[in-house]
Chain A
Amino acid sequence: DTAVSQTPKYLVTQMGNDKSIKCEQNLGHDTMYWYKQDSKKFLKIMFSYNNKELIINETVPNRFSPKSPDKAHLNLHINSLELGDSAVYFCASSVGSPNEKLFFGSGTQLSVL
């Protein structure tokens, strides 16, 4: 039973396209996140939702739009993809605040050509 699952695992697409990454957690957690891991391996928070409400919104281009239909799901939609968007995107969840242990999905490797 996968705790935090995200799809797809790999995503290869052309510049200018629009794509979505889906994430689901079956842990009953209240908070979900999207992280971006660049080529230097730094993990950077992008967004966080608590019970479907946006609580963290870092400086991310507005081409990125998170959507949380319910507290078990947090999807990431990206418009007009650019070369610099190529990275690994991780979904995560925690019981409450980011101060607590994060449970990560296995990542989506996005390659923009």
Chain B
Amino acid sequence: KNQVEQSPQSLIILEGKNCTLQCNYTVSPFSNLRWYKQDTGRGPVSLTIMTFSENTKSNGRYTATLDADTKQSSLHITASQLSDSASYICVVSVSNYQLIWGAGTKLIIKP
């Protein structure tokens, strides 16, 4: 069964600290993996896309990794800011027409 699991479910860290969010998937055939950020009361916004051949990709303070062998991805946030408080959702594309969504990790940054 195609599935995407994210951990932790929620995370609280102090402003300025780093954190890493995890995404494990059992999806086949794999097409790509995206991380979305969803602020409270808003729609998700794409942060980065990982294809099969990519191991690491950065977008400012966000760095995503992909291990296609172990079917794991991570999103590392460096020097967190209050505006990073949001839900982060991992989405794996199975084919051109099917996306498998994770439940998200709710990140809270405290001053």
Q: Which residues of A contact B (CB under 8 A)?
A: 4, 40-45, 48, 55-56, 90, 92, 97-99, 101-102, 104-107
Contact = CB atoms under 8 A, between A and B. Distances in A.
B41 interface: yes
A105 B45 CA distance: 10
Given A41-B103, A43-B101, A99 B96 contact: yes
Nearest to B32: A99
Contacts of A56: 97
Nearest to B39: A106
Interface stretch (B20-28, B53-61, B69-77, B87-95): B87-95
B109 interface: no
Given A97-B96, A99-B31, A99-B32, A42 B103 contact: yes
Given A44-B101, A55-B97, A102-B44, 6 more contacts: A90-B44, A98-B98, A99-B31, A99-B93, A102-B46, A104-B43
Interface string B66-88: 00000000000000000000010
B50 interface: no
Nearest to B9: A41
Interface in B29-53: 31-32, 34, 36, 41-46, 49
Contacts of B104: 41
Contacts of A45: 99
